[in-house]
Amino acid sequence: MAESIKVLLAADTAEDRISLNKQLLLGDFVVLSEASLGPEAVAYVKEFKPDVVLLTMEEPLARPLRTLEGMNLAAPDCPVVAVSSLGDREHLRRAMLAGARDYLVKPVSVDDLHNAIVSVMEAKRKRRFQTEEGSSNHHQGEIITVFGAKGGVGKTTLATNLATALALQTKQRVALIDVDVQLGDVAVMLNLIPERTIAEVVPAMDKLDGEMLRSLLTPHASGVSVLAAPLRPEEGEGIGAAHIRKIVEVLAKSHDYIVIDTPRSFQDAVLTALDLSSLVLMITTLDIPCIKSTKLCLGMMKAWHYPEGKVKLIVNHTSAANGLSARDVEAAIDYPIFWKIPNDSAVAAAIKHGKPFVQSQPAAKVSQNVVNLCCVLSGVKPPAKGFMGRLREKS
């Protein structure tokens, strides 16, 4: 696949051009041309029509960011991979907001470069295929709701890490909605301070459209767009099922994946999210009260005649020390287990620092497990060992 990929190299320094050119040739890519950042690079994208652009991004950022934005306007179907010595979250976030599909931190190996370019090309081809296949239909993103019968089972942890993994692995548009409108923790788990929240939907319900809803989203460094819960519990009192339905339907037209984090209760808004979902991830733990509540919830969903395969049972915090086994859970609940997530100290560390473990600790067992879950759900090829290490944020 890599042999047919044509790359445009956009860099201002001779050192970067020589180094990246050598790595591209070692990776068997075709280098169409080299360009300086700015108008020349944008013009070359139009002229040469590359498959992928490799763009260096260093301080001062104004020039590379303008170049990125110009390229996306000139050739929105051409993915841009940014290469930089700036490894902090803010620079990654700004590059993603400007339109970069991937972000590599120097030093970059030949394998890192190869994997990044092939990955964005696979995502590009998948989007093109989906567009051609569904050209007569409205875009409809995959809606995944994470639900649990009890608190403390890891719903928000899974929702935030799954959304992050989907954004990083598929290179597609991912939205994360916090439907726990009174005590939601999605923003906290991602170390975000949202300027606007889901509460602002209520007074604007009649004119809610894609453009307005985008203005309420808070971007995360991974590329996930977050619709955060209200900052104060009383602000969530006016949000009902009709608001959630409208939000999900609008976001599904502009995003490939919508991940919904829910409270544990069967509120009308939660029922609406479950009904709209193409997939429900039902989370339980190896805890007898939780297993009992999970069985009751699954029985209710069965009575609602959800399509076969819509509800997937996931057992979290699996460990031999828990006493019960996954087989015990299946027998007690009388429902097949779809996925098991291991108990891992990386989870507590990630929560403490407000960073998704799939991004901050990619080598951890739980990170690899959730990335593999993401790949199973999205249909993308699982990454090679160490693939996500290049996206690890520097502390």
User: What residue ranges define each of the domains in the chain, with the CATH number in brackets?
Assistant: 2-133 (3.40.50.2300), 142-391 (3.40.50.300)
Distances, alpha carbon 367 to alpha carbons 77, 374, 384, 386, in Å: 30, 10, 13, 11
Cα Rg, the chain, nearest whole Å = 22
Could you tell me which residues come within 8 angstroms of residue 388 by beta carbon, excluding any fewer than 6 positions away?
168, 358, 359, 362, 367, 371
CA distance 380 to 306: 26
Q: Assign 10 to helix, strand or coil.
A: strand
Confidence of residue 157 (pLDDT cuts 50, 70, 90): very high
Per-residue pLDDT tens for 44-68? 999 999 999 999 999 988 999 999 9
Could you tell me which residues come within 8 angstroms of residue 324 by beta carbon, excluding any fewer than 6 positions away?
286, 288, 291
Best mean pLDDT range from 94-108, 199-213, 363-377: 363-377
- Going 347 to 352 to 354 to 355, the CA torsion angle's sign is negative
Per-residue pLDDT tens for 270-322? 888 998 998 999 999 888 888 888 888 888 888 788 877 899 999 987 655 45
Residue 388 has pLDDT above 90, yes or no: no
- Decide if 312 contacts 340 (C-beta within 8 A): no
Top-confidence residue, 79 or 236: 79
CA distance 141 to 175: 10
Residue 385 has pLDDT above 60, yes or no: no
* Model-wide pTM > 0.75: no
CA distance 47 to 194: 40
Q: Identify the pLDDT of residue 123.
A: 74
Q: Which two tokens stand for residue 172?
A: 């597609």
CA distance 349 to 339: 23
Q: Identify the pLDDT of residue 161.
A: 94
Mean pLDDT within 189-203? 88
Q: Is the peptide bond before 356 cis (omega within 30 degrees of 0)?
A: no
Q: Identify the pLDDT of residue 390.
A: 43
Confidence of residue 164 (pLDDT cuts 50, 70, 90): very high
- Decide if 11 contacts 17 (C-beta within 8 A): yes
Q: Assign 52 to helix, strand or coil.
A: strand
Q: Which two tokens stand for residue 359?
A: 């991004």
Per-residue pLDDT tens for 110-130? 888 988 898 888 777 766 655
Q: Identify the pLDDT of residue 53.
A: 94
Residue 135 has pLDDT above 60, yes or no: no
